[in-house]
Amino acid sequence: MLAFILRRLGQAVLVMLAVGLIAFSLFRFVGDPVVFMLGQDATPEARAEITQQLGLDQPFYLQYARFVARAVQGDFGLSLRQVQPVSELLMDRLPATLELSICAALMALVAGIVMGVYTALHRDSWLSQVMLAGSLVGVSLPTFLIGILLILVFAVVLGWLPSFGRGDTVALGFWSTGLLTASGLKALILPSITLGLFQMTLIQRLVRSEMLEVLRTDYIKFARARGLTDRAVHFGHALKNTLVPVITITGLQLGAIIAFAIITETVFQWPGMGLLFIQAVTFADVPVMAAYLCLIALFFVVINLVVDLLYYAVDPRLRIDRGAAAH
Amino acid sequence: MTPAAALLEVKDLRVEFPTRRGTLVAVDGISFAIAPGEVLGVVGESGAGKSLTGMAVIRLLEPPGRIAGGEVRLEGERIDNLPPDQLRRIRGRRIGAIFQDPLTSLNPLYTVGEQIVQTILTHLQVSPQEARERALGLLREVGIPAPESRIDHYPHQFSGGMRQRVVIALALCAEPRLIIADEPTTALDVSIQAQIIQLLKRLAREHGTAVMLITHDMGVIAETADRVAVMYAGRIAEIGPVREVIHAPRHPYTVGLMGSIPKLGAGMGKRHMRLAQIEGAMPRLNAIPPGCSFNPRCPRRMERCMRERPALVTAGTNQTACWLYE
């Protein structure tokens, strides 16, 4: 178990180093930073001086090592446009993105599992047909279109919910939350649905197909033959056996939700990291882009690690060491 | 046997599978009875409808299979038309079941103790502590060594034979009057098979439980059953006391079946005596011939067998569906 975690941590470090290399390359390939700082008509002496100051005359691997050493301490330098430490900018925006993503993921998970189980158990009911048809829409419509349609219906026509922004926020230490105010909660609804809809349909279809598969197994038939109630058979025995693949997909999708919040945040002008990143791209603000890239990679790596550990909690076949499996 | 004494009585049971190209009749009007404490062997080739008969009794047919006619009575009470929830209370409580493959019969995510306790609590009014005590007792009874520690193990930590013992404990845990054992030893090693059969036999005797033992293994039947029903193409060809059916079979199919069992000592001297076999194969469900379904393979076929379907008639101690005994 400990060896497994250590091995996984080692792999995680390798992944982060590789992503760091890509992020670092951005600095070299998205224009010449010296030109950025001094302009086109600087003297060769000034250029040479600033090049030396920035350490750009050193070999590539030394520059990379220095980048990594500083990145580990959370130092990605100054934003070229806002002249503020990148880490501060990201930390300001992080709560907005995480609250949106987690809210969307929870919605997707709960609604997806409920609908998946329902459509598997009542295959021929009209409600299942409606849900399956609805899930097709969720899978095929692009996120931004869903967002715009939701804004049109609920903000413009009905006027029930705000069309942009995060509402009022409350600061809890460094964390600014929108979950404690009425306007913050109202502002969260439409973006969460927009962001979570695709994942919800994905989970719904996954749970449905896994559930149908499990319901055909011998141990479900045997559970019925023992006279267990439908409730115990469906939720105790069948649903639990569908959870391993669901956890995998949900875990991977949580990373995707955080990363693809960019589109939703743009549509709803949500003040999160995604919006910051889009603005950074527009202005070729390389430090922000590089830091964002590393942070998203970190999320993916951590989530994957958590997913691997969750397997152990759900499936006893992985938990027990080989020695006890005799007989 | 009078119907009142029967524990399970099946009359004209018919199981159908509706398909796009017409309805397939997999079990075609079979009738039999099991007395309390009796072991009835049901034997036949694959596809003869023996498992479907067992599943139809506890109404666990896989859709689209369905009971299309007939009656199933348990202790005189009709159970084939009960609402699902009442039938559920009968399953496990009054009729237990054991399936073929012990490796897949147990839920991998729960310990064997959890599965037994859950079943006990579903059917009996006992506290969780009592249920666990009972579970321990059952595991001991089915011969699992060190049940105190094994009760908290997961199915994958048991071998195939041990798992089948757990499955038997699960089938017995609410003291049912009847157990339907569907090929309980087929998936096991030969050396384990005998142990499981002995266990099943002993427990059935000690608990006074009747057993419907479905198998294609005549050896298992000979050793275990009191009576045996031979099935062919969804019908009963012959039914009677196990000694009679084995030593004095009436129906030509049963005769062929017994002749195809290798016997030690038989044919000594003749080195290359071939094992007798029945020519041809059992008809497919969509091509069952008119009249007696065995007629294309029957060595004693008569003209009448091609036209009219024989009913079960008494022939000595046995009942057989054959025009020879009319």
ipTM of the complex as predicted? 0.85
Name every chain A residue with its beta carbon within 8 A of the beta carbon of B157: 320, 324-325, 327
The shortest CB-CB distance from A325 to any of B108, B119, B157 is to B157
* Residue in A closest to B89 by C-alpha: A227
Asked whether residue B42 carries a pLDDT value surpassing 90, the answer given is yes
All residues of chain B having their beta carbon less than 8 Å from the beta carbon of residue A229 are 88, 122
Considering only the beta carbons, identify the residue of A219, A316, A324 that sits closest to B105: A219
> Which residues have a Cβ under 8 Å from the Cβ of B41 and sit 6 or more positions away?
B213, B215, B220, B221, B224, B225, B227, B228, B229, B242
Distance from CA of B278 to the nearest CA of A (A): 33
Q: What pLDDT was estimated at residue B268?
A: 52
Query: Which of these, B186, B144, B150, lies nearest to B162 by C-alpha position?
Result: B144
Residue of chain A whose Cα is closest to the Cα of B167: A222
Neighbours of A244 (CB within 10 A): 16
CB atoms within 10 A of CB A76: 24
Q: Which of A224, A316, A327 has the CB atom closest to B60's CB atom?
A: A224
CATH of domain A90-326: 1.10.3720.10
Instruction: Tell me the nearest-neighbour CA distance from A244 into chain B, angstroms.
Output: 11
CB contact under 8 A, B167 and A221: no
* Alpha-carbon dihedral B255, B258, B262, B263, rounded to 10 degrees: -100
Angle at CA of residue B156, ends B155 and B160, nearest 5° = 80
A219, A259, B91, B118 from B107: Cα distances, Å: 5, 37, 18, 12
**Cβ-based burial of A8 (10 A; exposed 0-12, middle 13-18, buried ≥19):** middle
Query: Which residue of chain A comes nearest to B152, CA vs CA?
Result: A316
DSSP string, A283-301: TT-HHHHHHHHHHHHHHHH
pLDDT at A325 over 50: no
pLDDT of residue A154: 86
Question: In 3D, which of A247, A248, A246, A278 has the Cα closest to residue A260?
Answer: A278
A218, A227, A236 member nearest B101 (Cβ): A218
Inspect the interface and report whether the beta carbons of A223 and B107 lie closer than 8 Å.
Answer: yes
Contact B60 A225 (CB under 8 A): yes
Residues from chain B contacting residue A327 (CB–CB below 8 Å) = 157-159, 162
Mean pLDDT calculated for residue range A204-220: 90
Nearest CA in chain B to A232: B118
Which residue out of B62, B109, B117 would a mutagenesis test of the A interface target, given it has the greatest number of A Cβ atoms within 10 Å?
B109
A vs B, Cβ pairs < 8 A, gives: 86
B174 vs A contacts (CB less than 8 Å): 227
Strands B39-43 and B210-215: parallel
Structure confidence by residue, pLDDT tens digits, A23-47: 888 777 766 767 767 777 778 888 8
Average pLDDT over residues B302-307: 86
Q: Do B91 and A230 touch (CB under 8 A)?
A: no
Beta strands in chain A (DSSP E): 170-172, 175-177
pLDDT in tens, A288-312: 888 888 888 888 888 888 888 887 7
Mean pLDDT score of chain B:
87
The verdict on a CB contact (< 8 Å) between A225 and B118 is no
Does B3 score more than 50 pLDDT?
A: no
Give A97 to chain B, closest Cα distance, Å. Answer: 36
Determine whether the interchain pair B107/A232 forms a contact, defined as Cβ–Cβ distance below 8 Å: no
Is there a contact between B62 and B2 (Cβ–Cβ < 8 Å)?
no
CB contact set of A72 (below 8 Å; sequence gap of 6+): none
Q: Do B107 and A237 touch (CB under 8 A)?
A: yes
CA distances for A209 relative to A167, A192, A228, A252, A308, angstroms? 39, 25, 23, 19, 22
Nearest-CA distance A227 → chain B (Å):
5
DSSP B299: T
High-pLDDT (> 70) share of chain A, %: 95
Distance from CA of B55 to the nearest CA of A (A): 9
* Cβ partners under 8 Å of residue A182, min gap 6: A167
Q: Which of B57, B87, B107, B153 to mutate to test the interface with A (most CBs of A within 10 A)?
A: B107
Q: Which two tokens stand for residue A295?
A: 């942070």
The mean per-residue pLDDT over the stretch B63-81 comes to 88
Q: How many other β-carbons are positioned within 10 Å of the β-carbon of residue B274? A: 7
Q: Which residues of A touch B214 (CB under 8 A)?
A: none
Contact A219 B174 (CB under 8 A): no
Predicted confidence (pLDDT) per residue in A68-109, tens digit: 888 888 888 777 777 788 888 888 888 888 888 889 999 999
Nearest to A226 among B101, B162, B170 (CB): B170
In the predicted structure, residue B2 carries a pLDDT above the cut 60: no
Token pair 């559970």 is found at A223
Q: Is the pLDDT of residue A237 over 50?
A: yes
**Order of strands, sheet of B66-74, starting from the edge strand that comes earlier in the sequence:** B22-34, B8-19, B66-74, B77-78
CA A105 from chain centre, in angstroms, equals 9
Q: What is the mean pLDDT of residues B158-175?
A: 89
- Contact (CB<8Å) B106/A229: no
Q: Residues B118-141: pLDDT tens digits?
A: 999 999 999 999 999 999 999 998
* Single pTM value for the model: 0.77
CB B108 within 8 A of CB A241: yes
Using pLDDT thresholds of 50, 70 and 90, give the confidence band for residue B273.
low
Domain ranges of chain A: 27-73, 90-326
Q: What is the pLDDT of residue B180?
A: 93
Distance separating alpha carbons of residues B96 and B101, to the nearest angstrom: 16
> In the beta sheet, which residues pair with residue A180?
none
Cross-chain residue pair A327–B107, CB shorter than 8 Å: no
The B95-98 sheet, strands edge to edge? B95-98, B178-182, B210-215, B39-43, B227-232, B235-241, B318-320, B313-315
Beta carbons of A228 and B89 less than 8 Å apart:
no
Write down the pLDDT at residue B84: 87
Q: Tens digit of pLDDT for each residue in B179-203? A: 999 988 888 888 888 888 888 888 8
CA distance B316 to B253: 17
Is-contact B305 B284, C-beta < 8 A? no
DSSP state of B288: P
The answer to whether B23 and B65 are in contact (CB under 8 A) is no
User: Which residues of chain A are at the B interface, by a Cβ-Cβ cutoff of 8 Å?
Assistant: 217-219, 221-230, 232, 236-237, 240-241, 314-317, 320, 324-325, 327
Q: Helix, strand or coil for residue B259?
A: helix
Inspect the interface and report whether the beta carbons of A218 and B104 lie closer than 8 Å.
yes
Sign of CA dihedral B204, B207, B208, B211: negative
- Whether residue A206 contacts residue A212, with contact meaning beta carbons closer than 8 Å, is answered with no
Interatomic CA distance for residues A264 and A272, integer angstroms: 10
CB contact under 8 A, B157 and A320: yes
Closest by Cα among B66, B47, B73, B39 to B222: B39
Instruction: Please give the mean pLDDT across all residues of chain A.
Output: 82
Beta bridge partners, B241, equal B227
Q: State the Cα–Cα distance between residues B26 and B132, nearest whole angstrom.
A: 41
Partners of A240 on chain B (C-beta within 8 Å) are 109
> For residues A306 and B45, what is the distance between their CA atoms, to the nearest angstrom?
51
Cβ contact A227–B108 (<8 Å): no
pLDDT in tens, A266-291: 888 888 888 888 888 887 778 888 88
Predicted local distance difference test score (pLDDT) of residue A173: 73
A233 vs B contacts (CB less than 8 Å): none
Write down the pLDDT at residue B230. 92
